[in-house]
Copies of this chain bind each other. A is one copy, B any other.
């Protein structure tokens, strides 16, 4: 793994929230000012295909990147806030129901967070 790759993985692992490529790029520039956005994208693509990083596709905003430990996502339909939750792994159950090997799955749950529920 390259220096830039390591740095980007580290940035993602250390971050509390789910960063966009742009945000990762900003952080990376603090460390290595000559880095360029394309390099961040290249590395993100590698990290995703190696399975070290997870890409989250959202409606109406750029992709987010997340450390790849098994968990699910709670998405507020009001403000777009994205939160990690740790539900039990459904893979076994899904495999039984489907009768085929499951590589992985994405479970994104849409809800309204407290603030947005109050407003509505």
Contacts and interface: CB of A to CB of B under 8 A. Distances in A.
Interface stretch (A1-9, A25-33, A54-62): A54-62
B109 A102 contact: yes
Interface size class of A (residues with CB under 8 A): 20 to 34
Given A57-B59, A58-B57, A59-B55, A109 B101 contact: no
B87 A97 contact: yes
Nearest to A57: B57
B101 A112 contact: yes
A106 B112 CA distance: 15
A74 interface: yes
Interface of A: 55, 57-59, 74, 77, 85, 87, 94, 97-98, 100-112
